[in-house]
Chain A
Amino acid sequence: MADNGNDHGSEAQYGQFHRRVFESNAALFAVAATVAILIGGIVEIVPMFTPAGPEHSEAITPYTPLEVAGRDIYVSEGCYLCHSQWVRPMRAEILRYGPWSRAWEYQYDRPFQLGSRRIGPDLHRLGNKYPDAWHYEHMRDPRSTTPGSVMPPYPWLLNDRIDPDDVRASVVALRKTGTPYTDADVAGVEESLARQGGAIVDRLATAGIETTPDRAIVALIAYLQRLGVEGRAELEARGVEY
């Protein structure tokens, strides 16, 4: 077979320098390519850790242990593949969902869950939009609350239980990443889970739903009900028009 692969024909004259310097020296080529691919990333990512990066706000508090557990469920089920958490600064989005999402609202989000697809609606302003019982029924059977919904049911969340030791491990790891949890927060994980979970169980009971504070659904409700709430309150406190 003819050797085409290495045949550059008469054009070789155009690349004499490149050919001489790079194309015969693998190490030099590798170094040059590494430099070429590093520049853009460095210029864009490094400033994120300086004041040119995303804004921080004292108004946003870290997730409570129950919310951490709920967020872990959200992450585990891959909710982000159908739901964004990202209201864009556009008229229709603000009408449909509420105030557009600010950078500081995400400051404790690890991993970020902005999403890239809206098979279902955005969830960033979901908190306090519906009662706890709505979420419970919605996860059990989405069509019971949203007729015609195409979301699959998640009945196992009604039975699965969360493990306080597991949640504590999450809080400890999050603390290591820089989330400002105190020693008291870590020590009080179990008590905090019971208190916040108990409150949700009580509210569900008023709607005739019986469950226990350690159920996965309770944690998920805790997480969903805080989405966008502190951010909206802060924007209102600042008197921002939206």
Chain B
Amino acid sequence: MVDYDDDIVRKFFLATAVWGVVGMLVGVIIALQLAWWPANLGLPWTTFGRLRPLHTNAVIFAFAGNICFTGIYHSMQRLLKTRMWSDTLSRIHFWGWQLIIVSAAITYPLGITQSREYAELIWPIDIAVTLIWVVFAINFFGTLAIRKVKHIYVAIWFYMSFVITIAVLHIVNNLAVPATFLRSYPIYSGMTDALVQWWYGHNAVGFFLTTPFLGLMYYYLPKAADRPIYSYRLSIIHFWGLIFLYIWAGPHHLLYSGLPDWAQTLGMVFSIMLLAPSWGGMLNGLLTLKGAWYKLRTDPILKFMVVGVTFYGMSTFEGPMMSIRSVNGLAHFTNWVVGHVHSGALGWNGMLTFAVLYWLLPRLWNREVAYPKMVTQHFWLATIGIVIYTVSMWAAGLMEGLQWRAVNDAGQLANPIFIDIVHRLEPFYWLRLLGGTLYFVGAVMMLFNVFKTIRGPERVSTDAPAAVPAT
């Protein structure tokens, strides 16, 4: 029996649950600010412009990042039947990553930012990210090197693409000349800077919010459903298709801009092609449940997984569609994009994260979940919240997109006063706040359930699943 390091998994687990609540709380606050501007509080540190990066960074790098690390440290040891290569590096990775998150939470409200979307961290913190990532990569490949199982399972292919690609994206995108300790200027300018940034930005979606999560799906979905992966061949095809195509898609963020047309067209074409490998992953996940669908009635973990994978399918259909130039012409700059992003973030990343956390909770602490019914309640709150959120943002986005472009018979703007359109969005902003709040409340319930479970009595029965399930 291998002595797995589950202490590090528990650390990342708790960080995920705590940062998730923090990131979503900031999301609720800035959603309120859009519906009711006095919620900016009249203070420099709490304006929408300073808090939005805190929200996006917290949910992407703290919530989603920590669940990726949770799942990787847990599943990788079992898939390779070895302890992580270095316990010390695991801990440097953990504490370093949390320190980076704390430094983001301090700098953004102070207005210390690069203002490059999803790469707002200033250069000293960027260097820290690079160092911590190298620590993680050494530990990751070190563990592969000492593995006791020759074969490398598909989940680890996806983890590997995460480790490699994020390093490349982060370093290339953040090359800059420092002016002071807090400020730097990118080596790229204008449209080139925009292209590099969106090459990074879109592939943060691709390789931070997609490939590691597919890795989690490939490990935890078969575990939870007690079924083998539907198709091995499909996993090969969609893995290589996905990582090869994704990296080209960035320019769809710059359609109708000054970016050379050839680059815009490449971005659009590859984004549309990306539908195929994305759906390959979704289908491989859903079809794994073949013969196990009845379990959905009783198992909230599978409910979370199925809704998560389904939202992955929906947002990876919507994304390519929005990358079509003419559709993008309407959707770009609107709340539709916000709705799209959240169907991916809340639907795919969030739901899969909750599923993995609930699956791990009794196993990592060898305790029964304190409030099993609350897991199902969380599921319904989250699902209803996402639906309200995305539908209100679709409606708001279509409305503002159409009203911005409407021209009357005389050839003049039908809605010449911008602020009039802003006011028509207000009901949708309140609805979105409601949807987001439901989702947030669900996450708080999970955090409560986690702490109650951890403080509960340890399992004594020997026929219950062991704390460390055999793999």
A interface residue numbers (CB < 8 A to B) = 1-9, 11-12, 14-15, 18-19, 22-24, 26, 29-30, 33-34, 36-41, 43-45, 47-49, 52-54, 72, 74-82, 84, 86, 88-93, 95-96, 101-121, 146-156, 166, 169-170, 172-174, 176-179
Q: How far is the CA of A91 from the CA of B411 in the complex (A)?
A: 9
Contacting residue for A45 out of B152, B195, B257, CB 8 A: B195
Q: List chain B residues, Cβ under 8 A from A90.
A: 256, 329, 405
Docked-complex contact B180 and A146, CB < 8 angstroms: no
Residue of A nearest to B38 (CB): A152
Docked-complex contact B228 and A111, CB < 8 angstroms: no
Interface assignment of B114: CB less than 8 Å from any CB of chain A: yes
Interface segment, B16-24, B82-90, B262-270, B454-462? B262-270
Q: Which of B111-136 contact A (CB under 8 A)?
A: 111-117
Q: List chain B residues, Cβ under 8 A from A72.
A: 183
Docked-complex contact A149 and B419, CB < 8 angstroms: yes
Docked-complex contact B153 and A6, CB < 8 angstroms: yes
Given contacts A4-B223, A107-B189, contact A146 B228 (CB under 8 A): no
Docked-complex contact A52 and B165, CB < 8 angstroms: no
7 A-B pairs closest in CB distance: A103-B258, A78-B49, A106-B190, A152-B40, A173-B179, A40-B248, A40-B247
Q: List chain B residues, Cβ under 8 A from A155.
A: 42
Interface assignment of B418: CB less than 8 Å from any CB of chain A: yes
CB distance from A186 to the nearest CB of B (A): 12
Contacting residue for B177 out of A3, A48, A148, A177, CB 8 A: A177
Q: List chain A residues, Cβ under 8 A from B412.
A: 95
Docked-complex contact B177 and A26, CB < 8 angstroms: no
Contacting residue for B186 out of A93, A104, A110, A149, CB 8 A: A110
Contacting residue for A81 out of B40, B53, B253, B419, CB 8 A: B53
Given contacts A45-B199, A90-B329, contact A15 B236 (CB under 8 A): yes
Q: How far is the CA of A92 from the CA of B270 in the complex (A)?
A: 28
Docked-complex contact A36 and B251, CB < 8 angstroms: no
Contacting residue for A88 out of B40, B48, B194, B256, CB 8 A: B256
Q: Count of A-B contacts with CB under 8 A?
A: 309
Q: How far is the CA of A217 from the CA of B379 in the complex (A)?
A: 48
Residue of B nearest to A38 (CB): B168
Q: List chain B residues, Cβ under 8 A from A77.
A: 47, 49-50, 111
Contacting residue for A148 out of B50, B144, B338, B419, CB 8 A: B419
Contacting residue for B223 out of A1, A116, A176, CB 8 A: A1
- 16 additional A-B pairs beyond A36-B243, A173-B185, beta carbons within 8 Å, are A5-B219, A7-B228, A7-B229, A8-B232, A26-B160, A36-B240, A39-B247, A41-B199, A48-B260, A78-B49, A89-B256, A103-B190, A112-B197, A146-B419, A152-B37, A169-B183
- Summarize B's interface: helix, strand, loop or mixed: helix
Docked-complex contact B223 and A177, CB < 8 angstroms: no
Docked-complex contact B52 and A78, CB < 8 angstroms: yes
Q: How far is the CA of A102 from the CA of B177 in the complex (A)?
A: 26
Docked-complex contact B193 and A112, CB < 8 angstroms: yes
CB distance from B438 to the nearest CB of A (A): 23
Docked-complex contact B232 and A14, CB < 8 angstroms: yes
Contacting residue for B180 out of A8, A112, A166, A176, CB 8 A: A166
CB distance from A50 to the nearest CB of B (A): 10
Docked-complex contact A26 and B37, CB < 8 angstroms: no
Docked-complex contact B117 and A23, CB < 8 angstroms: no
